[in-house]
Amino acid sequence: MKTAILFGATGLIGSHLLEELLNNEEYSRVKIFTRKDIKKIHSKLDIYNINFKQLDNYKDKIIGTDCFFCLGTTRRQTPNKLDYIDTEFNLPVSIAQIAKENKIKSFIYVSSGGANVQSKNLYLQNKGKAENEIINLLFDFTAIIQPSLLLGNRSEFRIGERIAQFFFKSLSFIFVGKLRPFKAIHALTVSKAIIKIINKKEKNLYFTSDKLEILGKN
């Protein structure tokens, strides 16, 4: 039986993914590493409340089969540029490096649609850089998840995202053909797609919203 490691279990995708992992018979243990308190009890679940600035203290706990990284922030939540880069770039890369050292076989990184190291947008630039670093670690299996705008209810209110969700839903009919990768997608669909990707070891490296939609609905 396998052990899943999950970072970002309180987020929009991570919260759904946690439930999918707990309900998946492939995994006998699910370890989550979080800054926030999670009041959840399950026979398969191990919860580690950690300080992400002291990752070395938890190296011996980050041991398992498959590692899922769904953690992120916003500039509003993290206005300091260096702290923002630390969360969006340094943190996923550091965790991936620990996972590689601990011989974890698979790494699934939830990035973003449009991620690109050349982007002038700091968010997309960080995601693109993190993708490249993770890919270069050469896990037995790597998947880069690139959803477009996420649909679903977050624990915190984001007015800009709510407005964008409204317009993306209203104009969903235009996202056909080459625009399909940019269509908004529900976080639950993404989480179901991730399970399908890791279970079947899908051959693609990058999974945009259009591919996630197909996998998550089938």
Q: Exposed, middle or buried, 144 (CB in 10 Å: 0-12/13-18/19+)? A: buried
In contact, 134 and 93? CB cutoff 8 Å? yes
Q: For CA atoms 128, 130, 132, 138, give the dihedral sign.
A: negative
Q: What is the pLDDT of residue 76?
A: 79
Number of Cα atoms under 13 Å in the Cβ half of residue 121: 11
Q: What is the pLDDT of residue 156?
A: 55
DSSP 173: G
Q: How confident is the model at residue 152 (pLDDT cuts 50, 70, 90)?
A: confident
Q: What is the pLDDT of residue 188?
A: 95
Whether residue 153 is predicted with pLDDT greater than 70 in this model: the reply is no
In contact, 106 and 67? CB cutoff 8 Å? yes
Whether residue 178 is predicted with pLDDT greater than 90 in this model: the reply is no
Number of Cα atoms under 13 Å in the Cβ half of residue 124: 12
- More confident: 209 or 178: 209
Q: What is the pLDDT of residue 213?
A: 92
Whether residue 171 is predicted with pLDDT greater than 80 in this model: the reply is no
Q: What is the pLDDT of residue 217?
A: 85
Lowest average pLDDT, out of 8-12, 82-86, 168-172, goes to: 168-172
In contact, 102 and 62? CB cutoff 8 Å? yes
Q: Give me the phi and psi of 29, to 5 degrees please.
A: -135, 145
CATH 3.40.50.720 fits 2-217, yes or no: yes
User: Per-domain residue ranges for the chain?
Assistant: 2-217
Name the average pLDDT for the chain: 88
Q: What is the pLDDT of residue 157?
A: 46
Average pLDDT (75-85) is 85
- Identify residue 102 by its one-letter amino acid code: N
Report residue 183 as tokens. Answer: 């269509």
Whether residue 19 is predicted with pLDDT greater than 80 in this model: the reply is yes
Which residue in this structure is represented by tokens 């996998």?
A: 215
| CA–CA distance, 203 with 192 (Å, rounded to integer) | 17
Whether residue 37 is predicted with pLDDT greater than 80 in this model: the reply is yes
Q: How confident is the model at residue 151 (pLDDT cuts 50, 70, 90)?
A: confident
Whether residue 154 is predicted with pLDDT greater than 60 in this model: the reply is no
Whether residue 126 is predicted with pLDDT greater than 60 in this model: the reply is yes
Q: What is the pLDDT of residue 164?
A: 46
